[in-house]
Amino acid sequence: MFAWATRLFAKPAPVPPVRMNDPDFGPIAWDAQFVNWTMEDTWALASQPEPVRCIEIPGGRDGPSPAARAFLLDLKARPERAWACADATLLAVMAERPRLRGQSPRDVFHIEFLGMDGEAGPEWAVGLEARDADEWLEIHLDLVGDAVVRKTMHVDPVEPGDA
């Protein structure tokens, strides 16, 4: 008799995760909430020893879009674009920290992740990380084209035993 109420107020069944092995990104998982793919593995960049992940890869349930694939593969091949976009922001952050002043951003930071937001425009993100004996800096830059439109920074003290 009240079946409609059960349907109306019942929680929807969870959507099973979609995973695939992509030829360019390796193992990836579909995030239905954010409507994008996330790398489960990492890439190596010739310019740094630390691995890099793609955390936002636009596309549909059948895989990354051709535009996102081309854009992110280009960033992987030419990480100097991300560095050029981030340099001014990183230099400003480093100027606020006496022990980092006068150093090159590439000597202090490494690229932690790359991502692309949406299909239509040139919106993308780069995450950078630095760690020394005292603190761990994580900086997330949102970009439109090559212009930084938002910076998010997280600073944590390095705890004894942190690797």
Q: Is 7 strand, coil or helix?
A: helix
Residue whose tokens read 């992740």 = 113
Question: What phi and psi values does residue 81 have, to the nearest 5 degrees?
Answer: -65, -45
Note the pLDDT of residue 5. Answer: 42
| Whether 53 contacts 44, CB under 8 Å | no
The answer to pTM > 0.85 is no
Rounded to whole angstroms, how far apart are CA atoms 61 and 139?
A: 30
* Burial of 127 per CB tally in 10 Å (0-12, 13-18, 19+): buried
What pLDDT score does 106 carry? 92
* Alpha-carbon gap, residue 27 to 83, rounded angstroms: 26
Residue 28 scores a pLDDT above 90: yes
Q: What is the pLDDT of residue 3?
A: 46
Please give the DSSP secondary-structure letter assigned to residue 10: S
Indicate if the pLDDT at residue 75 is higher than 50. yes
Tell me the domain boundaries of the chain. 27-157
How many DSSP H helices and E strands does the chain contain?
4, 10
Least confident of 34-38, 57-61, 68-72, 87-91: 34-38
> Is the pLDDT at 36 greater than 70, yes or no?
yes
Give me the pLDDT at residue 31, please. 83
Q: What is the mean pLDDT of residues 24-42?
A: 88
